[in-house]
Chain A
Amino acid sequence: MSGMAIGLAVAIVPACIAWKVRRGELRAYAVLVGVAGAIGGLVVARRKRWSDGEVALFLDARLGSDESIVTALETNDVSDAARGAIVARATSVLASGEPSRAKTRLVKPVQSLGPIAVVALVAIARWPLPVAPVIAPTPGASRVTIAQADGLEKIAKLARVDARDDEQRERLAKIARDASTLKEQLRVGLEKRDAQDRIARMREAIDQERLSLGDGEKRAGLESAVSQLERTAPTRAAARALGDHDLQSMDAEMERVANSREKRDRALADGALKEAADAAKQAGASDVAKALENERALLTKRGERADALRDLAKAMKEAGALSDGAQRSLDSLDRDGSDDSARALAAALGEAWSKLTPEEQKKVAEKMAKLAKGRRAVSPSSGTPPPPPDAKELEEQLRAMANDDSASDEAERESALDGAEQGASETQAALDGQGSGDGNSNGNGNGNGNGNASGSASGDGAGAGAGGSHDFGTGAHHGRTDHVDGDTLKSRAHAAMNAANAMPGSVTTFAPGRAGDVSTAVSTGDLRAAAPSQIDGVDKSDVPEEYREHVRQYFNPRETTR
């Protein structure tokens, strides 16, 4: 009974737990625990069942028989006569004792737990389950679906970019593959945080790719090239852009130099590019050298185009056939030296050319050939002058110039990476828009940047979206720290810390200090010579008097050995 009562009482615990965790169907099974408890109680009761001796002791205690019953039961080492006497006495006690005094309690207090536990179990089984608490969803755990992720398509285009080398090709292909995979997964649905994480990793890879030119061991070559370019004024700005890995700016700068009217600047730039490429090659930065060679070839091509356009414009002007639009384009080219202006001038000249009569065209062509001849007379290295172009040929050339939008390979790669970066931002913004339900993803960056993101977002998430904020501007990001006037580095100690192996890296003499420099020379000075007051300073220090001589010897051994 006690075991069953305890078992049923124990069953209340799992029943309560089942109720608490709203597993109502398990409450009924809690009764099984009660049955198990009852069985366990029976086993325990069986094992704790009183022995005959214990019953005898109980009877002796109840009947006040001075342990005669237990002695009669448990004593062997006595004579038969004594045993007989003891048994007779025990029998007499049992016969004369009141049966009521020998009764045990049938119900124990613990057994009252049984019915209480049954009532409690029934009550718990019928009690309504508690209301499920509202648990806020884990941030980013919601699934998002984007039917058409155009931004990721832009990233996937990186696979078609003309890579610098095989390694870069592989890296770009991986980014493109990741983008394609993500696009497919977003089409069917993906956890938002997963998508955000993968986009972040893609952006990181794209950023890494921007900095890949002249990185790592090729850094020295890049620095050498920058140093060479910095030496000439026309390429100084391009040098800064190269140092900042802003290859589009560098290309734009070289474009300006190439289209400028000043031939001397072009020549200087050409020489600087050549020297920079050589320096980079020597330093092992073949990729930098290749980029600079490419830029140099473009410089020549752009320069020749600009010269040709200017000659034609001048010839047409002298022929009175230069239109106002062509004049404005010529002015614009002289002012900003951009390829856009050159192309606009070519288009304007082509249009004006087409309006000329064949005689006028022939006249202008001859004039143009004369100008070219005169220009080559100034620079004999240009070779023999070409014959005057015929009208048809010149018209074709103008059309080609108007449509020529060639840029350096690195600039084109940079542009492709920009596009990929923008695509990542658009996708990110689309995801944010899905999270908020009405997210606005137009962002503004600092400088000249402006953010833009679009996506076909559909979702019903809660929360506030934060628009994309990446800076895609093309403003100048290069910076320059102020010059640090470092003090001179002076040696004040030469003590051999280890006589067998002199301490490396201590500075010796008076050398002009520069910010970031480290000392590498071995010291040769003398403590006493460097700071005599400090040698004697031990007498004024906190060193106990009895140790001062040891300290003095330690720092000036030659003095004391004399």
Chain B
Amino acid sequence: MTHDDFEARLRAAAESVAKLRAAIGKVVVGQHEVVDQVMWALVAGGHVLLEGAPGLGKTLLVRTISECLDLRFSRIQFTPDLMPSDVVGTNVLVMDATQRAAHGAFALTKGPIFGQIVLADEINRATPKTQSALLEAMAEHAVTIAGTRHALDEPFFVLATENPIEMEGTYPLPEAQLDRFLLKIVVPNPSEDELCEVLARTTGRALDAPPRVMGKSDVLGLRAMCRDVAIAEPVTRYSARLVRASDPNDKGAPDLAKRGLRFGAGVRGAQSLVLAAKAVALCEGRAHVSFADIAKVAKPALRHRLIRSFEGEADGIEPDAIVDALLAAVSARPAHVDAEGRA
């Protein structure tokens, strides 16, 4: 493959992502940033945790994506009494025609985790045991049922949602499990215009289903290309410096991080940062990552990995504010180059 072919593939990838974005836009009003971030996670091969108040279109967004992609969709509504077997499936006794057990034969009944796009709705309402069943599948793209390992079909893309209010009776995800989500996307309230458009679309005639714009092979191709996106050493080092600076014990950490954090992001955070930035570059038709890409994905990639201290929680220091402080404190280029470059 020549570099012209590579350029052509890059353009095609960018176009297909744009088509997907446009198809989603026909159903979901506004939320462009959220849609973009979901695209990045889809392309990068990671999972997404969507956080937002009820009624902001989280479930609609996921359902629309599944409709636009020619992939198997399943939904799990997490409740406190949901069992792990309800997620991954179980072996059931096979009955013959007379409704008798057929000599101890069992057959696997696959759970909803065997879908390709899985919506884990209100994930924080299930018990940790059930949550861990999902998270194991997310990490390994496989589940083990009755001692038999079952690989999940690729692409396997989990979109979990959680509600930041109504926290009573919920089981907040532990930090180690949060770390398995590539991005945590905060779904904002719609603007006035967006709200008007939502009202217009949802209170009139039913809309047509969105077109399917991408299939399994397209998604896997995008993911493969994402890994081919180049990143220069200074950009990688910038990512590393950002993550290091989130450690409150690090010399280069900004004061806000030192005051508001107990633990910073780890290695998975840095990996997510680079991978998501590659996805951004690919979605924009570039074969390389820029400093701006890193900065763009910093909040969704790091916000759920910053463990606030008691002081940080008491003072209401939001993770996004700390990420902003990190971006302000860590210079992308060496100081002398930066000074000359700005001049």
User: Do B232 and A74 touch across chains, with their CB atoms under 8 A apart?
Assistant: yes
B5 CB to nearest chain A CB (Å): 6
Stretch touching chain A among B38-46, B250-258, B282-290, B310-318 = B282-290
User: Do A81 and B342 touch across chains, with their CB atoms under 8 A apart?
Assistant: no
Q: Which of A50, A61, A77, A86 contacts B287 (CB 8 A)?
A: A86
- B235 on the interface (CB 8 Å rule)? yes
Closest to B235 in A: A67
Q: Which residues of chain A come closer than 8 Å to B5, judged between CB atoms?
A: 81
Measured CA separation A458–B286 after assembly (Å): 103
Measured CA separation A76–B341 after assembly (Å): 25
Measured CA separation A87–B7 after assembly (Å): 12
Q: Which residues of chain A come closer than 8 Å to B1, judged between CB atoms?
A: 79, 81
Interface residues of B in 1-32 (CB under 8 A from A): 1-3, 5-7, 10
User: Do B6 and A57 touch across chains, with their CB atoms under 8 A apart?
Assistant: no
Q: Which residues of chain B come closer than 8 Å to A80, judged between CB atoms?
A: 3
User: Do A78 and B292 touch across chains, with their CB atoms under 8 A apart?
Assistant: no
- B150 on the interface (CB 8 Å rule)? no
- A105 on the interface (CB 8 Å rule)? yes
Knowing A81-B3, A89-B287 are in contact, say whether A75-B231 is a contact too (CB < 8 A): yes
Measured CA separation A58–B336 after assembly (Å): 10
Size category of the A interface is 20 to 34
- B140 on the interface (CB 8 Å rule)? no
User: Do A82 and B337 touch across chains, with their CB atoms under 8 A apart?
Assistant: no
Interface residues of A in 68-105 (CB under 8 A from B): 68, 70-75, 77-89, 104-105
User: Do A53 and B234 touch across chains, with their CB atoms under 8 A apart?
Assistant: yes
- A54 on the interface (CB 8 Å rule)? yes
What is A's interface to B at a CB cutoff of 8 Å?
Answer: 48, 50, 53-54, 57-58, 60-62, 66-68, 70-75, 77-89, 104-105
Measured CA separation A60–B7 after assembly (Å): 21
Measured CA separation A84–B3 after assembly (Å): 5
Closest to A55 in B: B337
The contact sample of 24 A-B pairs, CB cut-off 8 A, is A53-B234, A54-B337, A58-B340, A58-B341, A66-B290, A66-B292, A67-B235, A67-B289, A70-B232, A71-B230, A71-B232, A71-B235, A71-B289, A74-B233, A77-B230, A78-B228, A78-B287, A81-B5, A82-B6, A84-B6, A88-B3, A89-B286, A89-B288, A105-B340
Give per-residue flags for B286-305: 1 if the beta carbon is below 8 A from chain A beta carbons, else 0.
11111110000000000000
Q: Which of B10, B233, B234, B337 contacts A85 (CB 8 A)?
A: B10
Measured CA separation A78–B343 after assembly (Å): 33
Measured CA separation A83–B230 after assembly (Å): 8
Q: When A and B form their complex, what is the total count of cross-chain residue pairs whose Cβ atoms lie within 8 Å?
A: 101
User: Do A75 and B292 touch across chains, with their CB atoms under 8 A apart?
Assistant: no
- B129 on the interface (CB 8 Å rule)? no
User: Do B232 and A85 touch across chains, with their CB atoms under 8 A apart?
Assistant: no
Measured CA separation A89–B286 after assembly (Å): 9
Q: Which residues of chain A come closer than 8 Å to B7, judged between CB atoms?
A: 85, 88
User: Do A67 and B2 touch across chains, with their CB atoms under 8 A apart?
Assistant: no
A166 CB to nearest chain B CB (Å): 82
User: Do B233 and A53 touch across chains, with their CB atoms under 8 A apart?
Assistant: yes
Interface residues of B in 199-249 (CB under 8 A from A): 228-235
Q: Which residues of chain A come closer than 8 Å to B287, judged between CB atoms?
A: 78, 82, 85-86, 89
Select the residue from A62, A72, A86 with max chain B CB neighbours within 10 A: A86
Q: Which residues of chain B come closer than 8 Å to A105, judged between CB atoms?
A: 340, 343
User: Do A73 and B3 touch across chains, with their CB atoms under 8 A apart?
Assistant: no
- B338 on the interface (CB 8 Å rule)? yes
Q: Which residues of chain B come closer than 8 Å to A61, judged between CB atoms?
A: 333, 337-338, 341-342
Measured CA separation A70–B232 after assembly (Å): 6
User: Do A58 and B288 touch across chains, with their CB atoms under 8 A apart?
Assistant: no
User: Do A86 and B288 touch across chains, with their CB atoms under 8 A apart?
Assistant: yes
User: Do B234 and A86 touch across chains, with their CB atoms under 8 A apart?
Assistant: no
User: Do B228 and A79 touch across chains, with their CB atoms under 8 A apart?
Assistant: yes
B119 CB to nearest chain A CB (Å): 34
Measured CA separation A114–B341 after assembly (Å): 25
Knowing A67-B288, A74-B232 are in contact, say whether A85-B6 is a contact too (CB < 8 A): yes
B2 CB to nearest chain A CB (Å): 6
Select the residue from A60, A82, A88 with max chain B CB neighbours within 10 A: A82
B130 CB to nearest chain A CB (Å): 40
- B334 on the interface (CB 8 Å rule)? yes
Closest to B292 in A: A66
User: Do B228 and A71 touch across chains, with their CB atoms under 8 A apart?
Assistant: no
Measured CA separation A41–B233 after assembly (Å): 30
Measured CA separation A380–B339 after assembly (Å): 130
Closest to B342 in A: A61
Q: Which of A66, A72, A81 contacts B2 (CB 8 A)?
A: A81
Closest to B233 in A: A74
Q: Which residues of chain B come closer than 8 Å to A77, judged between CB atoms?
A: 230
A483 CB to nearest chain B CB (Å): 85
Measured CA separation A549–B335 after assembly (Å): 82
User: Do B3 and A83 touch across chains, with their CB atoms under 8 A apart?
Assistant: yes
Q: Which residues of chain B come closer than 8 Å to A82, judged between CB atoms?
A: 3, 6, 228-230, 287
Closest to A79 in B: B228
Q: Which residues of chain B come closer than 8 Å to A66, judged between CB atoms?
A: 286, 288, 290, 292
Q: Which residues of chain B come closer than 8 Å to A62, judged between CB atoms?
A: 341
User: Do B338 and A75 touch across chains, with their CB atoms under 8 A apart?
Assistant: no
A272 CB to nearest chain B CB (Å): 98
User: Do A67 and B3 touch across chains, with their CB atoms under 8 A apart?
Assistant: no
Q: Which residues of chain B come closer than 8 Å to A57, judged between CB atoms?
A: 234, 333-334, 337, 341
Measured CA separation A67–B337 after assembly (Å): 13
Q: Which residues of chain A come closer than 8 Å to B6, judged between CB atoms?
A: 79, 81-82, 84-85
A262 CB to nearest chain B CB (Å): 109
Measured CA separation A61–B337 after assembly (Å): 9
Q: Add 6 more A-B contacts to A61-B338, A89-B288 (CB < 8 A).
A: A54-B333, A67-B232, A67-B288, A71-B235, A74-B232, A82-B228
Knowing A54-B337, A66-B286, A66-B290 are in contact, say whether A75-B230 is a contact too (CB < 8 A): yes
Q: Which residues of chain A come closer than 8 Å to B3, judged between CB atoms?
A: 80-85, 87-88
Q: Which residues of chain B come closer than 8 Å to A67, judged between CB atoms?
A: 232, 234-235, 288-291
Measured CA separation A73–B230 after assembly (Å): 11
User: Do A84 and B233 touch across chains, with their CB atoms under 8 A apart?
Assistant: no
Measured CA separation A61–B342 after assembly (Å): 7
Q: Which residues of chain A come closer than 8 Å to B341, judged between CB atoms?
A: 57-58, 60-62
Measured CA separation A84–B230 after assembly (Å): 11
Measured CA separation A357–B21 after assembly (Å): 171
Q: Which of A48, A53, A58, A71 contacts B231 (CB 8 A)?
A: A71
Q: Which residues of chain B come closer than 8 Å to A88, judged between CB atoms?
A: 3, 7
User: Do B337 and A74 touch across chains, with their CB atoms under 8 A apart?
Assistant: no
A162 CB to nearest chain B CB (Å): 90
Knowing A67-B290, A81-B3, A85-B7 are in contact, say whether A54-B233 is a contact too (CB < 8 A): no
Q: Which residues of chain B come closer than 8 Å to A48, judged between CB atoms?
A: 336
Select the residue from A70, A80, A83 with max chain B CB neighbours within 10 A: A70
